[in-house]
Amino acid sequence: MQQPRAITSRVGALQPVLAGLLAALVGYASTFALVLAAFAALGANPAEAASGLFALCLALALLNAIAAWRTRTPLSFAWSTPGAAFLLSLGALQGGFAAAVGGFMMAAALVILAGLARPVARAVAAIPASVANAMLAGILLTLCLAPLKAIELEPTLALPIVLTWVVGMVFLRRYAVPLAVLATIIVLALTTRVTPGVLDATLPALVPVLPVFTLDAFLRLSLPLFVITMASQNLPGIAVMKANGYTVAPGPQFLLTGIASAITAVFGGHAVNLAAITAAITAGPEAHPDPAARWPAPVAAGIAYLILGLLAGLAAAFIAASPPILIQAVAGLALLTSLAGALTNALSVEDERLPAVLTFVTAASGITVFGIGAAFWGLVAGIVLLILLRWRQGK
């Protein structure tokens, strides 16, 4: 008969593995539809969209497993979910998906520059959190309205998905979004008419895309994607690690994620970065009571991402045959928590509320001025107003 201490030891050893699997499943199931929809909105065909998702999964598999193994810390990585939300709201670029891939590479180059040049990282870190969160909230608002639009346009299909999410939020909050994704899959499987051959060759393949570098893509895609990824993922990711007692040097992590993003961009992936939300699972007490024993969690997450990546082709083919509004609806449900957090953080400092609101409404407006999108102008408007108010107040 096993001694209680031996059983406890085995359970303790399994705990970080389960936490890592949970982090990967939640991260993937909650937003893979958003990522695929973003690539499609930029002009990617199903094979290119599947390639981008597969490349991201491979990058996360390697980064999570190798970094945690070498450093013996629960350093974890994810794709840029706010970045994907931004891309979905951006629309097509001049030059199509090839121009988007060029934009991904230029955004990755900016992240690499932030890792090499401390002033760049400091400049991004100096962006007021209220303004950065307000910009993110403005980007997310349109997507978070999608469930309501879906109920209006496809009530019989959308209502079961939304109701599943509501029930999940009440009884199994952590699994609400994965349950909504599962409900979406069931609804689409029962109602979507898939044309013959669309699900053939569903094993994913890395499809290289010859990039096209344009000023339009740099201004409309690269700069906002860089700011969003840094402000919404990389910097909060470092903060999450610090909050759990781990010291992380920002420069090397920015350099690592920038290089990984540049490589995945060749195959259609948009950006990888330090994890923020899922890092709270792999680096927190939920992974293990002992901080020194939590590093296997990202390793397990990396293995899970490798397995999940093999589903990229099937997911892309199925989503391509599905009503776009339903895919956007489940993505909107997944992003409601992010919207709530962004709005809370944007309005938390009283002296910065008006600049934050200006940033929010500008980013949510969808305007394009001089070929530059609303997200960038929202950031500029908020920072300029904040500077003027502080100057007027003599601060």
Closest by alpha carbon to 83, among 234, 208, 256? 234
CB 82 within 8 A of CB 136: yes
Confidence of residue 314 (pLDDT cuts 50, 70, 90): confident
Residue 194 to residues 38, 40, 43, 319, 323, Cα–Cα distance (Å): 21, 18, 21, 10, 11
What are the residues facing 372 on neighbouring strands?
Answer: 369
Q: List pLDDT tens digits, range 52-102.
A: 999 999 999 999 999 999 999 999 999 988 888 889 888 788 899 999 999
Q: List pLDDT tens digits, range 6-29.
A: 444 444 567 788 878 877 877 787
Q: List pLDDT tens digits, range 329-364.
A: 877 787 787 788 888 888 988 888 999 999 999 988
DSSP string, 159-225: HHHHHHHHHHHHH-GGGHHHHHHHHHHHHHHHH--PPTTTTTT-S-----------HHHIIIIIHHH
The rounded distance, in Å, linking the Cα atoms of 298 and 21 is 8
Look up residue 158 and give its two tokens. Answer: 């959308």
User: Is a pLDDT exceeding 50 seen at residue 177?
Assistant: yes
User: Is a pLDDT exceeding 90 seen at residue 208?
Assistant: yes
